[in-house]
Structure 1
């Protein structure tokens, strides 16, 4: 049983006093609503028209339930449920709990001023008027607590719903959905699109802590395969993100226009297969290009390096290393020798062997093919 109901039993108002108070309810409700409009900025303009009629009816109903309680009836549950729903509705209308609590305080003051005058006129003794005031404010406290609970519950529900919408937006982005789908998904989630998004792949165990360090608009999806999560960071300062991701085994993709975030995600996914630990995809573009089609690359190596096929494995390995160094150092013999830790004459001898095997090593086409074929170790 609520404190208001318990207190009503001690009040002992007669039916004539209750009837006199009920007659004041329409006027009192209007005064309460007007005072709320005047004193609580969040409600300015919100209580006009149909909304004003609804709120006035709600205030009259709440006051009527209060008089029911004062008359000994236990209708508190009805009033409490209505207050709870009012709290939920305030979230949907975009108002804070502070605004609603202010409205309750103003309403309690104005209602008491009006009802107290009627109570005095009805000849209610001073001690019972004091008890009547206590009962009114206890009643308002209980209603405001119910509204606070409704407000908090609605925030939780809306937060969870929005979180699901944000997760779906992230899925749509990394899946490369059409621009129309992405715009609709962003609007549904209440998410303002940035100029660009940068995909960051990292272990799910690090995702939440990393997410808290980034722009609040950063999208998070934690249920990717292999216990991996993705962050889509808006308008990222790349160096800052890389510093934050240090020691998190993260892969940072390129920045892309927000509707093309799938491109950043795809590159980060491919780069993750190349190396462990924190990785900047901008620094491994060559490896990414060469690993884009592994079978094509294997075929290229096999065709271009076919002249080494008939050599003994040790000889073929030395000649391949020499040819790679020769290409990297643009044929400067001393630099090639230094990189291989051999004598320049050894380089000269090996290059002679290579020319015998490959023929011309200077044509642009041959240099390009050899450079690509030798760019990665087998």
Structure 2
């Protein structure tokens, strides 16, 4: 038995006083509800109509349980359970814990004012009135604690459920699910779709710290392969994201419409194999293209550069780097020489060797093949 319940039972209010106080409950309940509406902004307009009638009955019932105890009954558990459910319901109605506790504080003050007047009229002595006040406020504190517990539990349940929905949405997004599935998932998770998303792939150990510095709407999924995680950043300022993640091993994919972020995730995942540290996939597109089919690229190099195969390794390397520079500088001998730190005559001599080995290297098709084959050093 709680202190308030035990104290009320021992207060010794006579039956006539309790009856008189019960008669005040409807008016007191109306005054409590009106005061909450007037003084707690979150309840403005929320306690009218059917809801107002429900809350008034709840207030009368709660105060009635207090008087039941004074009259010898033990209905504290019923009152506590009702207060707990009230707390859960406030979450469903979108009100905060602060609003709920403010309503209790206002309600306690107004309830005491109404019941104290009735107690004095019934002849309760001053010392009894002080004890009555202390016990009433203790009783309402117990009810508010039960409501706070209900509020917290409902938030926790909803939080876990929302986390599961957000995780499922994130999985569907990186898997490239169709738009109807994604829209349903976003609605279920209570997540407002942005215009675009950018995938960031990074080690799982760095994911939560990175998530905290990004847009709060950012989606996080941790349990990917190789201990990696993905962040899906809404409407990202690319430069800002790269600066925030500069000290992490993060790969930032391209920005895509939110329903097509799977392509951003795929590119970021592929790019992660190219380099360590923070990497902007927009700056390594050539490497990504060349690495898209490694076996095909190896076959291309082998075929196009076959004329160098019979040369001594050192000679082959010099001719390859000279041909690469010649292609990059469009055959301008002085620029090729400067890039290789050799004399222009050396370039002329080497390119003579190249032409002897390769034949025509000026046709568009030949230039394209050579450029691709020499895009990455062996």
Q: TM-score, normalised by structure 1?
A: 0.94
Listed as ranges, the matches of 1:221-232 within 5 Å are: 221-232=221-232
Aligned position for 2:264: 264
Q: Give the whole-Å Cα distance in 2 for the aligned partners of 1:40 and 1:246.
A: 46
Aligned position for 1:375: 375
Aligned position for 1:195: 195
Deviation, 1:233, is: 1.3
Whether 2:244 is the aligned partner of 1:244: answer: yes
Deviation, 1:357, is: 1.8
* Contact 1:35–1:107, Cα closer than 8 Å, also in 2: yes
Listed as ranges, the matches of 1:162-177 within 5 Å are: 162-177=162-177
Deviation, 1:263, is: 1.3
Listed as ranges, the matches of 1:76-155 within 5 Å are: 76-155=76-155
* Contact 1:300–1:373, Cα closer than 8 Å, also in 2: yes
* Contact 1:201–1:230, Cα closer than 8 Å, also in 2: yes
Deviation, 1:134, is: 1.5
Q: Give the whole-Å Cα distance in 2 for the aligned partners of 1:337 and 1:112.
A: 96
Aligned position for 1:12: 12
Whether 2:337 is the aligned partner of 1:337: answer: yes
Q: Give the whole-Å Cα distance in 2 for the aligned partners of 1:242 and 1:39.
A: 47
Provide Cα deviations, 1:143-166, integer angstroms capped at 9, x if missing partner. 112212222222222222222222
Whether 2:356 is the aligned partner of 1:347: answer: no
Aligned position for 1:284: 284
- SS in structure 2 at match of 1:223: coil
* Contact 1:8–1:72, Cα closer than 8 Å, also in 2: no
* Contact 2:199–2:264, Cα closer than 8 Å, also in 1: yes
- SS in structure 2 at match of 1:24: helix
* Contact 1:5–1:72, Cα closer than 8 Å, also in 2: no
Deviation, 1:373, is: 0.7
Deviates more, 1:307-316 or 1:239-248: 307-316
Q: TM-score, normalised by structure 2?
A: 0.94
- SS in structure 2 at match of 1:256: strand
**5+ residue gaps, structure 1:** none
Size of the alignment, in residue pairs?
A: 378
- SS in structure 2 at match of 1:229: strand
Provide Cα deviations, 1:94-123, integer angstroms capped at 9, x if missing partner. 112222222222222232232223222322
- SS in structure 1 at match of 2:276: coil
Deviates more, 1:341-350 or 1:151-160: 341-350
The verdict on how the C-alpha distance between 1:336 and 1:39 changes in structure 2, with shifts beyond 3 A counting, is closer
Deviates more, 1:162-171 or 1:21-30: 21-30
Provide Cα deviations, 1:281-320, integer angstroms capped at 9, x if missing partner. 1111110111112222122222212222333434333322
Deviation, 1:85, is: 1.5
Deviation, 1:218, is: 1.3
Aligned position for 1:319: 319
Whether 2:28 is the aligned partner of 1:28: answer: yes
Q: Give the whole-Å Cα distance in 2 for the aligned partners of 1:231 and 1:164.
A: 16
Provide Cα deviations, 1:231-275, integer angstroms capped at 9, x if missing partner. 111121111111111120111111111111111111111111111
Aligned position for 2:3: 3
* Contact 1:251–1:279, Cα closer than 8 Å, also in 2: yes
Deviation, 1:375, is: 0.3
Deviation, 1:228, is: 1.0
* Contact 1:4–1:69, Cα closer than 8 Å, also in 2: no
Aligned position for 1:48: 48
Q: Give the whole-Å Cα distance in 2 for the aligned partners of 1:13 and 1:208.
A: 59
* Contact 1:248–1:277, Cα closer than 8 Å, also in 2: yes
Aligned position for 1:64: 64
Deviation, 1:65, is: 0.9
- SS in structure 1 at match of 2:376: coil
Q: Give the whole-Å Cα distance in 2 for the aligned partners of 1:43 and 1:330.
A: 75
Q: Give the whole-Å Cα distance in 2 for the aligned partners of 1:224 and 1:53.
A: 52
